[in-house]
């Protein structure tokens, strides 16, 4: 079992530590990838990407949990079905087309500014096509469906007796949310935080289309390392991400095993 789990990790680990960028035909151990990633320029880029992913992860998880709660407890099965069908469209659509559509909607004369102008009665230019705020907005909206799928699946498995008990105890909707839904969805929340963090870490088209002057993204980092023939650094980054994912999965396994034994 451990051997199978470690196969992808071993492959990328070999590429990260033994791939000789200078002479690809002659593999030899080196920490060139590690040194490259720790250089101030690369480290700043990675920290910015990770920081953005953390922010996106926080907002997307919060909003998605709120959506899932309303969806699973306050709406009919037919409404839930229609909601899940419609929410998959942006999730499945072509990345460039989806982000370009957002660029158009968030432009100076776009739909959002027009709606805000008509509500306020004066010309509003809150969104201007390419800036950092738009990158965050689009990334959060892109990640919400993932959180909704995970949290809805978890909320859907909570036995109805809990909601009946909360009704019998005259708990308000807000109290039921904090005392029933939230504690029983801890695992799902942690899962969605991890999944959304890594997905938003990988998103690049948003920064490329909407980032304006600042186009820091994982794709641009990879392309820049590629053009400098620093492949080891790319695979070292992949090795770190893979190790983190494997670590989280093992922690999850241990945590659930302890819970069952209790």
Partner 1 sequence: MKISKPILLLLLGVMVIPIFSIIVLSFQNTGGELLKWYYVILKNERFTEAFGLSLVISTITALLCTFFSFIFSLTWFNKNQMFVVLVLILVIGLLPPDIMALSIIKVSQLLGLYNSNLLFLCIGLTLYTMPIGVLLFWSRFYFIPDSLIISGKDIGMKRFYIVTKIILPLSRNTAISCFLLSFLLAFNEYPRTYYLSGADVLVSEFLNGKLSSGADGSIYAGGSITIIITAVSILLMALFQAIFNHKGQTVNAKS
Choose, by CB under 8 A, the member of 184, 190, 193, 241 that binds partner 1. Answer: 241
String marking each residue 124-163 x if it binds partner 1 according to CB under 8 A: -----------------x--xx-------x----------
Near partner 1 by CB under 8 A, which window of 40-48, 158-166, 181-189, 248-256? 248-256
- Residue 204: helix, strand or coil by DSSP? coil
* 167-196 binders of partner 1 (CB under 8 A): 173, 195
**Residue 172 Cβ, how far from partner 1 at the closest point, in Å?**
11
CB 33 within 8 A of CB 233: yes
Q: Can you tell me the distance from the alpha carbon of 54 to that of 248, in angstroms, rounded to the nearest whole number?
A: 16
For 129-167, give one letter per residue: b (16+ CB within 10 A) or e: bbbeebbbbbbbbbbbbbbbbbbbebbeeeeeeeeeebe
Q: Which is nearer to partner 1, 87 or 171 (CB)?
A: 87
Closest C-alpha among 186, 200, 99 to residue 145:
200
> How far lies 129's CA from each of 92, 96, 103, 118, in Å?
23, 15, 5, 19
Q: Can you tell me the distance from the alpha carbon of 204 to that of 90, in angstroms, rounded to the nearest whole number?
A: 16
Near partner 1 by CB under 8 A, which window of 35-43, 63-71, 116-124, 179-187? 63-71
Q: Can you tell me the distance from the alpha carbon of 139 to that of 90, in angstroms, rounded to the nearest whole number?
A: 12
**Residue 28 Cβ, how far from partner 1 at the closest point, in Å?**
14
CA atoms 8, 10, 13, 18: torsion sign? negative
Residue 181 per-residue DSSP state: I
* 199-228 binders of partner 1 (CB under 8 A): 199, 201-202, 204-205, 208-209, 218-219, 222-223, 226
Q: Which is nearer to partner 1, 135 or 238 (CB)?
A: 238
Q: Which is nearer to partner 1, 73 or 184 (CB)?
A: 73
Question: Residue numbers of the site for partner 1 (CB under 8 A)?
Answer: 1, 4-5, 8-9, 11-12, 15, 19, 24, 63, 67, 70-71, 74-75, 79, 81, 83, 85-90, 92-98, 100-102, 104-105, 111, 141, 144-145, 153, 173, 195, 198-199, 201-202, 204-205, 208-209, 218-219, 222-223, 226, 231, 234-235, 237-238, 241-242, 245-246, 248-250, 253
């Amino acid at each position: 079992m451990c051997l199978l789990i470690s196969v992808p990790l071993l492959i990328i680990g070999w590429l990260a530590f033994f791939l000789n960028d200078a002479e690809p035909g002659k593999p030899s151990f080196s920490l060139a990838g590690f040194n490259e990633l720790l250089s101030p320029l690369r480290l700043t880029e990675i920290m910015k990407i990770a920081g953005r992913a953390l922010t996106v992860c926080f907002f997307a998880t919060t909003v998605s949990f709120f959506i899932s709660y309303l969806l699973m407890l306050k709406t009919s099965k037919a409404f839930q079905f229609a909601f899940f069908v419609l929410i998959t469209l942006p999730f499945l659509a072509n990345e460039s087309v989806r982000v370009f559509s957002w660029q158009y909607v968030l432009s100076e004369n776009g739909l959002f500014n027009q709606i805000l102008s008509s509500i306020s009665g004066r010309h509003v230019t809150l969104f201007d096509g390419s800036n950092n705020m738009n990158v965050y907005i689009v990334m959060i909206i892109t990640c919400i469906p993932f959180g909704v799928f995970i949290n809805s699946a978890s909320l859907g498995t909570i036995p109805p007796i809990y909601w009946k008990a909360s009704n019998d105890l005259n708990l308000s909707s807000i109290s039921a949310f904090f005392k029933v839904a939230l504690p029983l969805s801890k695992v799902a929340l942690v899962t969605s935080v991890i999944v959304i963090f890594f997905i938003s870490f990988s998103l690049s088209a948003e920064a490329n289309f909407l980032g304006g002057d600042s186009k820091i993204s994982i794709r641009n980092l990879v392309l820049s390392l590629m053009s400098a023939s620093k492949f080891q650094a790319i695979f070292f980054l992949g090795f770190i991400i893979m190790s983190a994912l494997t670590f989280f999965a093992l922690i999850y396994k241990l945590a659930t095993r302890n819970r069952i034994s209790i």
